Amino acid sequence: MKTRRARAEEVRERLSQGADFASVAREYSDDSGSALNGGELGWVRPGQTVPAFEEAMRDLSVNQISQPVRSQFGYHVIEVEERRRQNVTQESQREQVRQAIFQRRANEELETWQQEIRSKAFVDIRL
């Protein structure tokens, strides 16, 4: 059985010989979510991926394929298809709004929970 690194190197070799990225991703990827989409992650903003992945992605030119990149999730072979300076798609804007609403609600729930815990707390100070 091949190691994960050896599999990633085999993927890289097949891609460098002109194999279709989506087909190879469907065949080799352990990430069931992205494998079904042919390895497509969509637009990725800074901070959305783990540091090792992001650093490798940042260093690639458009249409360049990375060497195998190791992260805590395993090995990755990355291809940057396109870059843009600002993500202005409606889906991105919706996601930003969703995150802001989620964060606000989480903060409100945390505050409510903290107040509830404090109101039930009994403190006996003995000097």
Q: What is the pTM of this model?
A: 0.62
The pLDDT tens digits of the residues spanning 35-53 come to 888 888 888 878 888 999 9
Q: Tell me if 50 sits within 8 A of 72, measured CB to CB.
A: yes
Nearest to 79 by CA among 26, 39, 47: 39
11-20, 86-95, 115-124: the lowest-pLDDT one: 86-95
Residue 36: the pLDDT is: 84
Task: Please tell me the class of the 4-76 domain.
Answer: alpha beta
